[in-house]
Amino acid sequence: MSDVYRQCCQARNASPAAELRTKISKSMEDLDFSAKPTPRPEAVARAAAQVAAQSPLYQPALALEFFRSAGTMEEKPAGKAIFTENEKAGGLFSKNARMYLLLEGEIGLMIRNKFFGVIKPGDVFGELAVIADLPRSATAMAKINCRVLSLDEKQFHTALEKKPEFALMLMSTMVQRLRQSIVKLGTARPAVAPAERSDILDRKALAELRRELATQEPAEFPAGKVIMSAGAVGAFMYVVLEGRVAISVDNNVVERVGAGGMFGEMALVDRSARAASATAESDCKLLAINRTDFLGLVKAKPAFGASLLKSIAVRMQQLAQQVAQLQS
């Protein structure tokens, strides 16, 4: 019986085991965006796979608490595919997407029937399909008999209500990957086509957010006005209420954000300098959220935390695809 599984069976007040460290069968060079060029599907999959567990900010004990607060115990026999490459997360003919925490065993990650990575006990995997309704970027198969805790979307939201700090941890690990992508794209010559994103928050969610921050008046920026600059200290994140904002690195536009989209959250999550600049492409109305309000919303409003995770996950996938284009 693994230490993780033994923890899961102990009482909630038991002292947490020492942190488990993830080990990937490929070297970190193979998983990093600075690695030698690889075909596009593999590059995207490696960028998306094991987002949480690869980061030193990952907390296995917190992940275990999160999953056991609302998760389902499952056993996966050796040779069983847990999910398959390009499997859609939502839709009429799709399977109900689940994310997983491995308790016992070993999971192999495959692209085109070739293994490129391994999931070890304590690792979270498959989270992007649940968080952002994204297709699976790789196949996950049990290499030996495995035990997992799994969460579907409803269980994920239930767990967020109980353990909102998990959202902050996961954001931190995802932001690390985003920063790597942004640096890579900013130095690309020629520049790649910018990613477009909006409507992460629908009208109902935007209205609720404005009610929560009723004392905060929207900020207006005319077309051409710089909203934030790369390298600066980040005091606010922004939600686009009206207009469109260009996100750029070294004068290369890498993203455009429309109404319902968010930007600037990375600096609030990890307290690092701004990774990119933002300029109003059209007259804009933005809701500025400081770090105190940001943390309060994530902890008190799980739906806001879930929306932020979705925004970051979608950006990560889009930027991973752009980086892969540079490598192909």
DSSP line for 106-168: -EEEEETTEEEEEE-TT-EESHHHHHH-PPPSSEEEESS-EEEEEEEHHHHHHHHHH-THHHH
Pairwise CA distance, residues 317 & 48, whole Å: 7
Q: Which range in 159-163, 206-210, 267-271 is most confidently predicted, on average pLDDT? A: 159-163
Contact between 131 and 306 under an 8 Å Cβ cutoff? The reply is yes
pTM above 0.95, yes or no: no
Task: Verify that 124 and 251 share a domain, yes or no.
Answer: no
CA 5/CA 186 separation, integer angstroms: 43
Do 146 and 283 share a structural domain? no
Residue that terminates a domain, selected from 102, 134, 163: 163
Residues 191 and 148 in one domain: no
Reduced to 3 states (helix: H, G, I; strand: E, B; else coil), residue 100 is strand
Residues 144 and 261 reside in one and the same domain: no
Residue 99 has phi, psi (to 5 degrees) of -110, 160
Domain end call among 113, 128, 163: 163
Q: For strand 195-197 and strand 252-257, is the pairing parallel, antiparallel, or unpaired? A: parallel
Q: Are residues 159 and 127 in the same domain?
A: yes
Q: Does one domain contain both 112 and 234?
A: no
Query: Which structural domain range is residue 17 located in?
Result: 3-163
Per-residue pLDDT, averaged over 158-169, amounts to 93
The per-residue pLDDT for 24 is: 30
Count the neighbouring beta carbons within 10 Å of the beta carbon of residue 86: 11
Read off the amino acid at residue 51. Answer: V
Quote the mean pLDDT of the chain. Answer: 81
Instruction: Give the per-residue pLDDT at 206.
Output: 86
Q: What does DSSP assign to residue 187?
A: T
For residues 59 and 206, membership in a common domain is answered with no
Which of 163, 181, 201 terminates a domain? The answer is 163
Specify the pLDDT at position 282: 97
- The 10s digit of each residue's pLDDT in 245-297 is 999 988 888 899 999 999 999 999 988 899 999 999 999 999 999 999 999 99
Question: Among 134-148, 204-218, 223-237, 282-296, which is the least confidently predicted range?
Answer: 204-218
For residues 61-66, give the mean pLDDT.
96
Say if residue 15 is in the same domain as residue 100: yes
Measured CA to CA in angstroms, residue 168 lies from 139, 160, 207, 265, 268 at distances of 27, 10, 23, 11, 10
Residue 142 has pLDDT above 90, yes or no: yes
Asked whether residue 150 falls in the same domain as residue 297, the answer is no
Residues 79 and 123 in one domain: yes
Residue 80 sits in a domain of what CATH number?
2.60.120.10
Residues 126 and 189 in one domain: no
> Which region among 75-79, 190-194, 232-236, 263-267 has the lowest average model confidence (pLDDT)?
190-194
Tokens 């069983």 belong to 80
Are residues 249 and 155 located together in one domain of the fold?
no
The band of 208, judged by pLDDT with boundaries at 50, 70 and 90, is confident
Least confident range from 9-13, 66-70, 205-209, 239-243: namely 9-13
Query: Do residues 240 and 198 touch, judged by C-beta distance below 8 A?
Result: yes
Which DSSP category does 19 fall into? P
How many domains does the chain fold into?
2
